[in-house]
Structure 1
Amino acid sequence: MQAMTSALIRETFPVGPLQCNCTIIGDPVTKKAIVVDPGGNPDLIMSRLDAHGLKVVSIIHTHAHLDHFLASGQMKEKTGATLHLHEEDAFLWDNLEEQCRLFRVPYTPVPAPDQWLRDDEELACGCGVALHTPGHTPGSMSFWFPEAKLLIAGDTLFRRGIGRTDLWGGDYPTIERSIKQRLYSLDEDATVVTGHGPDTRLGDEMRENPYIRA
């Protein structure tokens, strides 16, 4: 999935053994970019950055399940970009090897995050903001780009679905609150990039999601 406007370059594609959606967000003027959830295939991610003429300065994570940051260490090594995560998911990040063992995925070590993401923090590209939307994990984040009407929801919200709450730190009442109060308060015309699978439209989820409606 590719999109380009005067304010934003965006490309989303599945990576890694669990086909997590990785998204590149770039400024067409400065050519600076952020990469969201590099869950594998670092060479593919680098090739897409090169195709857009972008330099990644920040690698940000919706949460710290293994499939969303398996290539983070390799991306940092290749680019020098900083790694960002919400602090409440630090326990998951620190247990990557155990996660990989449980899911029978090859383990590649990653360094500690450089900075903790904060709720309402402006992102490095200057065109978006981080939203703390816990529930799938305690530190789950979504990323909102208002001018582009683009929401990167990670595993919090899917097309006609929501994130699991039966894994480490998951909590259904919390994810319900995050979706209703934070995500469903945004522009209903927004495109939602989910953690896995196809994009959706926020207004459609508000009215038609069988799990949580506005």
Structure 2
Amino acid sequence: MNQTPGMIRETFPVGPLQCNCTIIGDPVTGKGIVVDPGGDAELILERVRAHNLQIVALIHTHAHLDHFLASGELKEKTGAPIHLHKEDKFLWDNLETQCRMFGVPYRPVPGPDFWLHDDEELACCCGVAMHTPGHSPGSMSFWFADHKLLIAGDTLFRRAIGRTDLWGGDYPTIERSIRQRLYTLDEEAVVVAGHGPDTTIGEEIRENMVIRG
């Protein structure tokens, strides 16, 4: 389990494309959220039970197939609503097509219950949604200032950035999101990327050869 003082935070890869799923929980209230349930629903539920959390929201950084594959089953099992930025609705509406293109089995997923907005407060641990488009039009990052934690989805990786050659991607837009939004955060903040290992804001400002601070 990842150690983040004052909050429950566990990140682990799920699904056929090994998307990082993150469970965030408040140890006082017992409420939690799941970010990017990209597959392996039973594993996610097992970890939720281990932390004794009540999941109150399923939050998505964007609507590419590898970030949603367990969303329908988790909504069914937990009753938690699905959250997404509205500008990724066209991707969500084409989830079956995405799965077919990548040869991934598709399970029907209900539509989002709520649209995320920039600077919206999340349901747990004083998190805030940040609209960071570029990888997709509706890409979001989730900032937990009190805990110096950023969940960046596929916008920022360790020494890399998200692809912009997929549906709705745009390099100048992702560069602006990273420079103007993410690189202005606390340099000590841990960054949970959509795939691969954690990094920090400061490391990426200094060492990311794609977009330096």
Change (3 A) 1:99 1:181: same
**1:58-207 maps to which residues of 2 (within 5 A)?**
58-207=57-206
Aligned counterpart, 1:2: 2
Change (3 A) 1:53 1:34: same
1:4 Cα offset (Å): 4.0
Q: Aligned partners of 1:24, 1:3: CA distance in 2, in Å?
A: 12
- CA deviation profile, 1:54-111 (whole Å, cap 9, x unmatched): 1100000000000000110000000000100000000000100000000000001100
1:127 Cα offset (Å): 1.5
RMSD: 0.7
- CA deviation profile, 1:110-131 (whole Å, cap 9, x unmatched): 0000000000000011421000
Q: Aligned partners of 2:80, 2:2: CA distance in 1, in Å?
A: 22
Amino acid at match of 1:15: V
Q: Aligned partners of 2:74, 2:177: CA distance in 1, in Å?
A: 30
1:35 matched to 2:34: yes
- CA deviation profile, 1:115-166 (whole Å, cap 9, x unmatched): 0000000001142100000000000000000011000000000000000000
Structure 2: which 5+ residue stretches go unaligned? none
Q: Aligned partners of 2:24, 2:3: CA distance in 1, in Å?
A: 10
SS in 2 for 1:147: helix
Q: Aligned partners of 2:3, 2:66: CA distance in 1, in Å?
A: 24
- % identity of equivalent residues: 76
Q: Aligned partners of 1:95, 1:86: CA distance in 2, in Å?
A: 15
1:5 Cα offset (Å): 1.8
Task: Work out whether residues 83 and 113 of structure 2, in 8 Å CA contact, stay in contact via their aligned partners in 1.
Answer: yes
Amino acid at match of 1:12: T
Amino acid at match of 1:125: C
Aligned counterpart, 1:18: 17
Q: Aligned partners of 2:91, 2:164: CA distance in 1, in Å?
A: 14
Q: Aligned partners of 2:4, 2:21: CA distance in 1, in Å?
A: 16
Q: Aligned partners of 1:38, 1:87: CA distance in 2, in Å?
A: 18
Q: Aligned partners of 2:4, 2:183: CA distance in 1, in Å?
A: 25
Q: Aligned partners of 1:51, 1:140: CA distance in 2, in Å?
A: 30
Q: Aligned partners of 2:36, 2:91: CA distance in 1, in Å?
A: 14
Q: Aligned partners of 2:130, 2:179: CA distance in 1, in Å?
A: 13
Structure 1: which 5+ residue stretches go unaligned? none
Q: Aligned partners of 1:4, 1:210: CA distance in 2, in Å?
A: 28
TM-score by length of 1: 0.98
- CA deviation profile, 1:10-50 (whole Å, cap 9, x unmatched): 00000000000000000000000000000000100000011
TM-score by length of 2: 0.99
Count matched residues: 213
